[in-house]
Amino acid sequence: MYNRTEIKDVLAGGHLDKEITVCGWVRAFRSNRFIALFDGSDFNTLQVVIDDDFGNEDVLKKIHFHACVKATGKLVESQGAGQKYELIANDIEVLGEANPDEYGLQPKAMTMEYLREKAHFRMRTSTFSAVFRIRHAIAYGIHKFYNDRGYYYMHSPIITGSDAEGAGEMFQVTTLNMGDMPKNEEGGVDYSKDFFAKHTNLTVSGQLQAEIGALALGKVYTFGPTFRAENSNTSRHLSEFWMIEPEVAFNDIYDNMDLAEEFCKYLINYVLDNYADDVAFLDQRIEKMERNMPKEKRRPMGLLDTLKFVVENDFERITYTQAINILRNSKPFKKGKFEFEPTWGSDMQAEHERFLVEKKFKKPVIVRDYPQSFKAFYMRENDADESVPGTTVAAMDVLFPGIGELIGGSQREERIDVLKRRVEAMGIDEEELWWYLELRKFGGAPHAGFGLGFERMVQFITGIQNIRDVIPFPRTPGSAHF
């Protein structure tokens, strides 16, 4: 339409001494002459210098913070500090005004909470444009990682009749009249009259369907939205989020841990290699934020140093039993500093995970072999071990600094008799999982997989504290705006 050149290409230098057109939004306008212009293609702005002969005062009066402009002129080497090139514009057109008296954003520091209320504008800020470019990079890196290793991308259903986690906290999908629900003979809702002729929900995981793919194609992965109807208002939870779930035939729990570690390091390296300017800006942002904080509340390392440390060091690997012993022998436990007592047979709390990762080992930790009592039905039961107080399963969690659990996975139970026993013990109707059981009955095979919370990985790589600030339009209890 405008035959424009993207700022990313302009800054690469291939258009020097040529007349070009750029379009974008004004980040700053100084001395009625210098425009810092961004178009989203790059972290850096392009300085547009309005030619001395440009005499249209009406246009200049319309150039304000985040107004959209088109500029045409010659690209030259900059004579000033801070930029290599600048555009000497002989023509400026305001494509979209932004009246500063009415516009919701201002060229000053604004809180993340305030910007969350302005989600339709917040991507224009330096912080959020960096975050969402990195989010894109991680998403692309995910597909590249698995494609380059021979995996097949599967689309698992968003509407499902099964609860993979057995959690029960799901969003129901129905076309029935909520004010006049049809009843069955027992007095309950007659879901045979519903659109799918059964009770259905939004998915919490694509894992069960991914297992179907793995037991036919060998190596698959899903990457899509998942939903949890938990009434949780924390900085770590969303009601709608994205999950990456690889599933691999003939892998055991140790192969699973190897894949998880390689995957995490690959994604971090991909961002460091391709979006260094965005990471550097976010690193500096965190440093500025922490200058006035007490030393004990600051990050032990800057963002960039933390990312490099993670990819350059092996993840620590321990069993759940070892983790509990470490926690019970720790100074915080002996001094009564833990809010929750770490006991064998109970799930570790966030404070326990943070101690292991941030205090004890100071790096990511993979914990495996959890008690069966609080894990999902599909996780493979381990052989009895006299040194362990109870039955465990081949489950694993990958714990990251500042984030806690980033990945949860397991070797799946491939023995149909053991799986049936577990399904019965958890009160799950076999009829609901007939197809899942048949995967073991006909041509079953050992296999393993995990789920990585996409937004939590974006959080870690960007250093953003609240998970609501790494997804464009967060869905949380009481909030479904935009």
Residue 476 in any domain: the answer is: no
- Whole-structure pTM value: 0.94
Nearest CA to 166 out of 373, 448, 375, 398 is that of 375
Q: What is the DSSP letter of 355?
A: I
Residue 302 in any domain: the answer is: yes
Domain identity same for 188 and 230: no
Residue 470 has pLDDT above 70, yes or no: yes
Q: Which two tokens stand for residue 175?
A: 């076309």
Domain identity same for 303 and 420: yes
C-alpha to C-alpha distance for 311 and 338, rounded to whole angstroms: 30
Residue 168 has pLDDT above 80, yes or no: no
Domain identity same for 14 and 160: no
**Range from 68-77, 345-354, 423-432, 462-471 carrying the lowest mean pLDDT:** 423-432
**Range from 155-169, 211-225, 356-370, 416-430 carrying the lowest mean pLDDT:** 155-169
Domain identity same for 163 and 86: no
Domain identity same for 85 and 147: no
Domain identity same for 188 and 221: no
Residue 118 in any domain: the answer is: no
C-alpha to C-alpha distance for 125 and 139, rounded to whole angstroms: 21
Residue 77 in any domain: the answer is: yes
Domain identity same for 149 and 23: no
C-alpha to C-alpha distance for 123 and 126, rounded to whole angstroms: 8
**Range from 52-61, 222-231, 309-318, 444-453 carrying the lowest mean pLDDT:** 52-61
**Domain at 39, CATH number:** 2.40.50.140
**Domain at 317, CATH number:** 3.30.930.10
Residue 272 in any domain: the answer is: yes
Span 176-225, pLDDT tens digits? 998 899 999 898 999 999 999 998 999 999 999 999 999 999 999 999 99
Residue 295 confidence (pLDDT): 83
Residue 80 in any domain: the answer is: yes
Residue 167 confidence (pLDDT): 52
Domain identity same for 58 and 136: no
Q: What is the largest CA-CA distance in the chain?
A: 87
Domain identity same for 157 and 219: yes
Residue 26 confidence (pLDDT): 98
Span 261-303, pLDDT tens digits? 999 999 999 999 999 999 999 999 999 999 888 888 888 889 9
Q: How many domains are there within the chain?
A: 3
Among 58, 81, 108, the domain-final residue is 108
Domain identity same for 212 and 339: yes
Q: What is the DSSP letter of 356?
A: I
Residue 333 in any domain: the answer is: yes
Q: Provide the domain limits for residue 82.
A: 7-108
Mapping DSSP to helix (H, G, I), strand (E, B) and coil, where does residue 398 land?
Answer: strand
C-alpha to C-alpha distance for 142 and 144, rounded to whole angstroms: 5
Query: Which of the four pLDDT bands, split at 50, 70 and 90, describes residue 55?
Result: confident
Query: Per-residue pLDDT averaged across 75-88, rounded?
Result: 90
Span 412-448, pLDDT tens digits? 999 999 999 999 999 988 988 999 999 999 999 999 9
Residue 262 in any domain: the answer is: yes
71 exposure class (CB count in 10 Å sphere: 0-12, 13-18, 19+): buried
Domain identity same for 164 and 178: no
